[in-house]
Structure 1
Amino acid sequence: MGLALGGFTAPWWFALLLVLGVLAGGYVWAQVRRRRNVMRFTNLELLEKVAPRRQGWYRHLPAALLGVALLLLTVSLAGPTTTERVPRNRAVVMLAIDVSLSMKATDVQPTRLEAAQVAARSFVDDLTPGVNLGLVTFAGTATVLVSPTTDREGVRQAIDGLRLAESTATGDAIVACLNTIEQFGKVLAGAEGPPPARIVLMTDGKEMTGTTTASAAARDAAKARIPISTISFGTSGGVVDIEGKRVPVPVDDDAMREIAEISGGEFHKAASAEQLHRVYDTLGEQIGYENKQIDASRPWVVLGTLSAIVAVGAALLTGGRIP
């Protein structure tokens, strides 16, 4: 029975501890008064014969147990809560993967794209089963390959089939994710409102085209309260071979950091396949679960009740009456 506390919903009940303190003080005063009354008895020899044999310290055990019971029950009335990790079964996650030509750079082995595919599959496999996952790819345009679903097989197949194309429309990818989340939210929304959502954006280069800039799209995401977790993928020394020419494709960390900050998300740096795996694992934990405050009063009620029962039993055994 765990008693780790996260807070109290009705802490004013602790005012009862003042009453408990008064009762404890009254018990001590009664014991002292009883001792004084005994000492006033002039014929001590007669008192020794007629008075019952005095019990040891354990005569105070019932009262002590009763005090413990009242203390535990007071804590339960205060509404203790504890933090628990629970699955986000209503959440929507859009995974946006850059498939521009720069993703064939080999600064992340074997290539940026292949490393991304391996890590993305791991992310899909480890994500909480109840989370709705969708997939958007983008180069010169953004395409919704898989609408949000709890069926992971379609997402896995789409990841396996990624193909490279020219240019990078990062802003359009974010807009496509936002539109998909909005449409899906209308279907899934209930009494609790739209489901919580997040975008995971993985790209390696500067924005080159598109009808909406990445910063403007990030502001739209912030208004919709949809954070964007960006993964800046690759190194500053990335190079690709395009039509026989070696073209530098350095990663653009600043742009990805800006998108994350504007939208209220997090920026992650992944300069290797191993780092990318760690990033996806971290995101899977953050997205798949959330910490919630839940009621934790039951253990205190149980212990308080048991203490009261033991107190009554101890009183009957030691004094033949209930205190």
Structure 2
Amino acid sequence: MTTATPLALSFATPLWLLALLAIPLALLLLYGARRRRTAYAVRFPAAASLALAAGAAAPWRRHVPTALALAAIAALAFALARPQRTVAVPVEGASIVLVTDHSGSMSATDVEPDRLSAAEAAAETFLDKLPKATRVGVVAYSDGPDGTLAPTTDRTRVRQTIEAQDAVGATATGEALQVALDTLAPNGRSAKPASAIVLLSDGKTTTGRDPVGVAQIAKKLRIPIYTVALGTADATIPNPVSPLSPPIAVPPDPETLRQIADVSGGRAFTSGDAGQLRSIYSTLGSRLATKHEQREVTSAFAAAALILLLGAGMLSIPRVGRLP
């Protein structure tokens, strides 16, 4: 089912908004008319007693029909200006591939509870933000792509693929990106504009092809790559050779990831904590699978004007036998 999220209101014919000037003009005319009635009113000594006997309404109630009539004028002016609501609607046929690094450096605990767990939680946030019709694929990698899933609307399979990763091995980012491209653009044919790749990595490429070269191919195929560099500069992991050996530094590589994003036409992000990572993925989930459209809502304002006019008439005729 297609859903739409309201974002803003604009007008196709804004000159009709000048009709709102009729409201202060009407107030001035009404004020002048009441001043004239007061000036020429005939004083009657028993007027107060007659008002009580007739059960006169509270003074504020006399102004309700007038207020409703003025509100109807405002609603009608907005309707004539043809209001349009800007909404975010799902992109039909959108396909996104999550490329997730689970090399040994993803076991670092500089991002709580550790990089890999934070990445998995952020991916859950990403999936929650996507419309159900958006197809999502996964390419998990370390020494090479070792966990792949073609784009699908089955969120359970996507989550299972993401959660099946263990932090081990080297970093073959270029190989993983190439698999993602082959998934979105079989036979090297240009993909639909709604296709994109989201790459999360925490370190430099240590094996396989150059990821920047793959990004150049992605640009030709019109597939932007959005990159997220995860981790902090002073992060380390225990030395796998010996517990007594010095720990191994595992800083992220935001420079290369930014270059990948720039070359492909995407955007680069960096994250040093789990909360920021979830925020980034939430933003990407909303941005990649939706587009902005203008939808006219004139009928709503016209209906409001009619209801307000009817209300003003119903409240004024029984009291004084005339419209406000």
**What is the TM-score normalised by the length of structure 1?**
0.68
State the shift of 1:243 in Å.
4.7
1:70 positional shift:
1.2
Give the superposition deviation at 1:154: 2.2
Percent of aligned positions that are identical: 27
**Counterparts of 2:63 and 2:37, CA distance in 1:** 14
Matched, 1:68 2:66: no
Q: Which residue of 1 aligns with 2:46?
A: none
CA deviation vs aligned residue, 1:122-166 (integer Å, no higher than 9, x gap): 347634443321111233444670011111232233234335665
1:72, 1:301 within 8 Å by CA — same for their partners in 2? Answer: yes
In the superposition, the TM-score normalised over structure 2's length comes to 0.68
Contact 1:5-1:81 at 8 Å conserved across structures:
no
**Quick one: distance in 1 between partners of 2:209 and 2:194?**
27
1:255 alignment partner in structure 2: 256
In structure 1, stretches of 5+ residues that fail to align are: 46-52
1:14 counterpart (10, 13, 17): 17
C-alpha distance in 1, partners of 2:213/2:135? 26
Counterpart of 1:48 in structure 2 is: none
Aligned position for 1:149: 152
Change (3 A) 1:97 1:299: same
CA drift of 1:106 comes to 5.6
Say which SS state the counterpart of residue 239 (structure 2) adopts: strand
Partner residue, 1:301:
302
Residue identity opposite 1:311 in structure 2: A
1:6 aligns to what SS in structure 2?
A: strand
Q: Is the 8 A contact 1:81 1:294 kept in 2?
A: yes
Cα separation, partners in 2 of 1:280 and 1:122, compared to 1, 3 Å: same
Aligned length: 300
Alignment of 1:242-321 (within 5 A): 242-244=240-242, 247-260=248-261, 263-270=265-272, 275-276=273-274, 278-280=276-278, 282-284=280-282, 286-288=284-286, 292=292, 294-297=295-298, 300-321=301-322
Query: C-alpha root-mean-square deviation of aligned residues, in Å?
Result: 4.6
1:240–1:204 Cα change, 3 Å: farther
CA offsets 1:28-69 (integer angstroms, 9 cap, x no match) = 666667778x59xxxx79xxxxxxx9x997777645532321
How far 1:230 moved relative to its partner?
1.0
Q: How does 1:1-323 map to 2 (within 5 A)?
A: 6-10=8-12, 11-18=14-21, 62-82=65-85, 90-105=93-108, 112-113=115-116, 115=117, 118-119=120-121, 122-123=124-125, 126-128=128-130, 129-142=132-145, 145-162=148-165, 166-182=169-185, 194=192, 196-214=194-212, 217=215, 220-221=218-219, 224=222, 226-233=224-231, 235-244=233-242, 247-260=248-261, 263-270=265-272, 275-276=273-274, 278-280=276-278, 282-284=280-282, 286-288=284-286, 292=292, 294-297=295-298, 300-322=301-323
- CA gap of 1:313–1:164, structure 2 versus 1, over 3 A, is closer
Equivalent residue letter for 2:318 = L
Change (3 A) 1:157 1:254: same
